[in-house]
Amino acid sequence: MADVLLFHHVLGRTEGILHLAEQLQQAGHAVHTPDLFEGRTFETIDEGFAYVKETGYDTLTERAGQAADGLPEAVVYAGYSLGVMAAQQLAQTKSNARGALFIASCAPAEEFGSPWPAELPVQVHGTKGDHFFADEEDLEAAQKITEASDSGELFLYPGDQHFFADNSQPGYDADATAQMVERMLSFLKRIDE
């Protein structure tokens, strides 16, 4: 069993994020889903980013760090879109990082002060046509960190939806999500061995 800290995307801790966590929990993993938005959810990306701007990245980073405090000695840091930033920073800087799972986002490792640690397993998921992921620097960053890791994997799914793995959103893709969850569970099983 792995301990997973899963950070939500820019729409907040939606029912879809909780459903994704539940799928990992059903396989026996302990999944923590902190609410960095303190109960707020949003209908659009623009509304979510307006809240992020109003609240401030520093405050959200502080909330993410507080969520990580008190967790077991070995944690898999996971994030979806905006949540990847918190997960990636913690994965690269906390000594208790056992692995990283990123959905629909990735930043250059150097943004967090150092190259990706070769010994840290990482898995990144996104859709091929998602302009937030594939058309910006995220895909390139994902390629670089998965290549830098001794156990790095990058999976691209058909389609162009950013929220493909959130079943509370219109762009949800059940087939891609099922494949992603299967791959995540294999990743967690390998880490747990």
Mean pLDDT for the stretch of residues 166-190? 96
Model pLDDT, residue 192: 75
Facing residues of 5 across strands? 32, 77
Q: Which residues contact 137 (CB under 8 A, 6 or more apart)?
A: 107, 108
Q: For residue 117, give Cα distances in angstroms to 19, 63, 109, 150.
A: 30, 24, 9, 9
- Judged against a pLDDT cut of 80, whether residue 29 lies above it is answered with yes
67 CB-side CA count, 13 A:
28
Model pLDDT, residue 20: 97
pTM of the predicted model, to two decimals? 0.96
Facing residues of 153 across strands? 123
Provide the CATH number for the domain formed by 3-192 in this structure: 3.40.50.1820
